[in-house]
Amino acid sequence: MAFASIAGPLECGKRTLPEMIVVDEDPAILDYFRRKVDHRARLRLLSAHSAVLDDLTNQAAPDLVLIDCDLGCGPFGASAPEVLDQFRKRWPFVPVVMMSCSGDVHELAQFSQLGVVGFILKPFHERDIEHVLRRFLPERNEPAPNAKEIPLNEDLSFVRACKRMEEVEAHCRLVASTDIPVLILGESGTGKEIAAMFIHKMSERSNASFLKVNCAAMPLDLLESELFGYEQGAFTGALRSKPGKFELCNNGTIFLDEIGEMPTSLQAKLLQVLQDGSFSRLGSRVTVKVNVRVIAATNINIKEAISRKTFREDLYYRLNGFSIQLPPLRERREEIPILARYFMTRNAARFERDPLPFSPTLLQALNSYAWPGNLRELDNTVKRYLVLADEKPIIHELHPSLGFGSPSPSVEEDYSAQGLKRVVRGVKGDAESVLIARTLDSTNWNRKAAAVHLQISYKALLYKIKQYNLLQPDVL
Q: What is the pLDDT of residues 93-115, one digit of tens each?
A: 788 888 888 766 666 667 776 77
User: Taking a C-beta distance cutoff of 8 angstroms, is the pair 323, 285 a contact?
Assistant: no
Give ∠ CA 81-88-48 in degrees, rounded to 5. 50
Please state, in angstroms and rounded to a whole number, the distance separating the CA atoms of residues 42 and 34. 10
- Break the chain into its structural domains and give their ranges: 17-136, 163-329, 331-467
- Which letter does DSSP use for residue 230 in this model? B
CATH: 3.40.50.300, 3.40.630.30, 3.90.1300.10, 1.20.120.1750. Which one for 163-329? 3.40.50.300
**According to the model, what pLDDT value does residue 95 have?**
81
**According to the model, what pLDDT value does residue 461 have?**
85
φ, ψ dihedrals at 313, nearest 5°: -65, -40
User: Taking a C-beta distance cutoff of 8 angstroms, is the pair 401, 430 a contact?
Assistant: yes
Q: Between the ranges 72-76, 154-158, 416-420, 461-465, where is the mean pLDDT highest?
A: 154-158
Higher pLDDT, 462 or 268: 268
**According to the model, what pLDDT value does residue 309 have?**
92
**What integer is the mean pLDDT of 111-138?**
77
Higher pLDDT, 432 or 165: 165
Same CATH fold assignment for domains 17-136 and 163-329: yes
Please state, in angstroms and rounded to a whole number, the distance separating the CA atoms of residues 313 and 319. 10
Tens-place pLDDT, residues 65-76: 888 887 765 444
Which residues, 6 or more positions from 119, have their beta carbon under 8 angstroms from its beta carbon?
97, 98, 99, 100, 103, 108, 111
What is the band of 364 on the pLDDT scale with cuts at 50, 70, 90? confident
**According to the model, what pLDDT value does residue 7 have?**
32
**According to the model, what pLDDT value does residue 64 have?**
86
**According to the model, what pLDDT value does residue 315 have?**
94
Q: Between the ranges 17-21, 77-81, 173-177, 283-287, where is the mean pLDDT highest?
A: 173-177
**According to the model, what pLDDT value does residue 139 have?**
55
What is the second-level CATH architecture of the domain 17-136?
A: 3-Layer(aba) Sandwich (3.40)
Q: Which of 287, 266, 260 is nearest to 276 (CA)?
A: 287
Return the percent helix, strand and coil in the chain, to nearest 5: 45, 15, 40
CATH code of the region 331-467: 1.10.8.60
Q: Which of 211, 244, 40, 275 is nearest to 139 (CA)?
A: 40
